[in-house]
């Protein structure tokens, strides 16, 4: 969560000016000072979360993902079969140094690639690229609310994908329903506002 808030604050600083930017820089500085205070007050907790073994375990996990994908490149090993193939059958053990993979993909793209192969991965990746392109087009449309819409989308997208690159959050139905609902509301608002300000024209 710390990396999520830090990146969101950096993005927010980029899109603000004047006093607002100063306030956000102060907030980011306070966030960094808080992290240092936690490190000083709770060194054991900080060391546990910053242990290189956590990173090496994730790197080993990506080797496991790629080994599984290379054996089943077209259709993958089957939806929700990653753990069975990796742990129960024990065929895809992987290591980074002396650290072993943890038998879960811990990555949305890795999970989709290993379990559905290129058949599922390509449309999944393209759908997210097209989603960003659609909201960028909204931003470039110069609607009165275009900047607000774009920055709101950007923060939601980053929040979803920053976490989605460290765990397979794409498999959580409640999270995906929330994500799609919020995106759909912003898209509907954008299209409706464009129709109001540009009669007879379509935004997308």
Residue 18 region by backbone torsions, left for phi larger than 0, else alpha for psi between -120 and 50, else beta = left
Provide the pLDDT for residue 185. Answer: 95
Residue 133 region by backbone torsions, left for phi larger than 0, else alpha for psi between -120 and 50, else beta = alpha
Provide the pLDDT for residue 91. Answer: 79
Provide the pLDDT for residue 186. Answer: 94
Provide the pLDDT for residue 3. Answer: 55
| DSSP bridge partners of 96 | 99
Note down pLDDT in tens along the chain; length 204 residues: 555 556 666 666 666 767 777 776 777 677 678 767 766 776 665 565 556 667 787 888 888 999 999 999 999 999 888 888 887 777 788 888 788 887 788 889 999 999 999 999 999 999 999 999 999 999 998 888 998 899 899 989 988 998 888 888 888 889 999 999 999 999 999 999 888 888 777 776
Distance CA 186, CA 157 (A): 12
Provide the pLDDT for residue 74. Answer: 95
- Taking CB atoms within 8 Å and a gap of at least 24, the contacts of 90-99 are 92/64, 92/67, 92/68, 93/64, 94/60, 94/61, 94/63, 94/64, 94/67, 95/60, 95/63, 96/56, 96/57, 96/59, 96/60, 96/63, 97/56, 99/53, 99/56, 99/57, 99/59, 99/60
123 CB contacts (<8 Å, ≥6 apart)? none
Provide the pLDDT for residue 138. Answer: 93
Longest dimension (CA), the chain: 64
Distance CA 153, CA 178 (A): 13
Q: DSSP assignment of 110-170, as one string?
A: HHHHHHHHHHHHHHHHHHHHHHHHHHHHHHHTT-TTHHHHHHHHHHHHHHHHHHHTTS-GG
pTM of the model: 0.74
Distance CA 110, CA 76 (A): 11
């Amino acid at each position: 969560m710390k990396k999520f808030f830090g990146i969101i604050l950096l993005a927010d600083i980029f899109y603000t000016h004047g006093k607002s930017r100063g306030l956000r820089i102060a907030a980011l500085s306070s966030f960094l000072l808080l992290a240092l205070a936690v490190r000083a007050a709770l060194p054991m907790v900080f060391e546990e979360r910053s242990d290189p073994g956590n990173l090496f375990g994730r790197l080993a996990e990506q080797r496991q993902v790629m080994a599984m994908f290379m054996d089943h490149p077209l259709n993958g090993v089957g939806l929700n079969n990653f753990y069975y193939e990796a742990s129960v059958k024990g065929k895809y053990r992987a290591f980074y140094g002396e650290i072993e993979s943890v038998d879960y993909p811990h990555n949305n793209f890795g999970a989709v690639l290993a379990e559905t192969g290129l058949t599922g991965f390509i449309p999944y990746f393209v759908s997210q690229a097209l989603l960003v392109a659609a909201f960028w087009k909204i931003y470039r449309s110069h609607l009165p609310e275009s900047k607000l819409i774009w920055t709101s989308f950007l923060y939601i997208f980053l929040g979803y994908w920053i976490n989605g690159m460290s765990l397979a959050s794409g498999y959580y139905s409640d999270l995906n329903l929330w994500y799609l609902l919020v995106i759909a509301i912003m898209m509907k608002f954008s299209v409706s506002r464009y129709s109001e300000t540009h009669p007879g024209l379509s935004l997308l």
